[in-house]
Amino acid sequence: MKLLETVAETQAHVALLKQEGQQIGFVPTMGALHLGHISLIRRARQENAVVICSIFVNPIQFNNPDDLAKYPRTLESDAAMLDEAGCDAVFAPTTVEMYPEPDTTIFDFGMLDKVMEGKFRPGHFNGVAIVVRHLLEIVRPDVVYFGEKDFQQLTIVRKMVDMLSLPVRIVTCPIVRETDGLAMSSRNQRLLPQERAVAPLLYTALVNYPRLEGGGFGGLSITNRLSS
């Protein structure tokens, strides 16, 4: 597996693949990989000639500096997992490499980034949109893969791709869960034992909650509200 650390070498590598007519599948991540990420790599492996993964902890999507500082960084073990899963190349830039100059782009997502998680993390989804745009412009994939776990983020990315008319197809993949139902997440590593013990209870409650007439909760469809 090839390790790419600069934008220039990544663009050169991609340009060669494009000249050869190779279809590129891309999986953007922030590292600290788990089986959820690997399921995306395997899906991309099945559907594309070349699979590229990015590992970049994006500072501009963090509201809390402590959260950024404590985010797990495990590039060596991540690279081993990617190699075993059949990934062809990993793009792992530094912050300076990704942002030689501050990117002050402000996206207008209407209410999409102001509800749910966005209500409590102002600017978070704008930072996500900025980094995904940069990554798509650098890697120039034919297909990009996202898990459904971060559904609001996925909706924001779809909107951004549509707004900018980026030439990429978005494929969504099912959530991968632990045996007790907790969605796999890099941040699970930071849970204390007592926190990890109660974390799956929300999912259990949602699964077992009686469905109200009209579907969803009180007839509301979260998917439709976000997509509107």
Q: What is the pLDDT of residues 90-133, one digit of tens each?
A: 999 999 999 999 999 999 999 999 999 999 999 999 999 999 99
Q: What is the CATH number of the domain that holds 113?
A: 3.40.50.620
Phi-psi region of 170 (alpha: psi -120 to 50; beta: other; left: phi over 0): beta
Q: What is the pLDDT of residues 39-65, one digit of tens each?
A: 999 999 999 999 999 999 999 999 999
Q: What is the pLDDT of residues 5-16, one digit of tens each?
A: 999 999 999 999
- The reported pLDDT for the residue numbered 208 is 83
- The reported pLDDT for the residue numbered 188 is 86
Q: Is the pLDDT of residue 179 over 70?
A: yes
- Catalytic residue, from 13, 34, 37, 134: name it: 37
Within-domain flag for 149:
yes
Exposure pattern of 205-219 as b/e (b: 16+ CB <10 Å)? eeeeeeeeeeeeeee
Decide if 37 is catalytic: yes
Within-domain flag for 151:
yes
> 211 falls in which pLDDT band (50, 70, 90)?
low
Q: Is the pLDDT of residue 156 over 50?
A: yes
Range of the domain at 62: 2-179
Q: Helices (DSSP H) in the chain: which residue ranges?
A: 7-19, 35-47, 65-70, 75-85, 95-98, 117-120, 124-139, 151-164, 193-198, 201-208, 222-227
Within-domain flag for 190:
no
> 210 falls in which pLDDT band (50, 70, 90)?
low
Within-domain flag for 115:
yes
Q: Structurally, how many domains does the chain consist of?
A: 1
Cα–Cα distances in angstroms (integers) from residue 172 to residues 76, 144, 169, 189, in the given order: 27, 9, 10, 24
Within-domain flag for 197:
no
Within-domain flag for 215:
no
Residue 100: partners with Cβ closer than 8 Å, 6 or more residues away = none
> The whole model's pTM is what?
0.88
Within-domain flag for 216:
no
Within-domain flag for 35:
yes
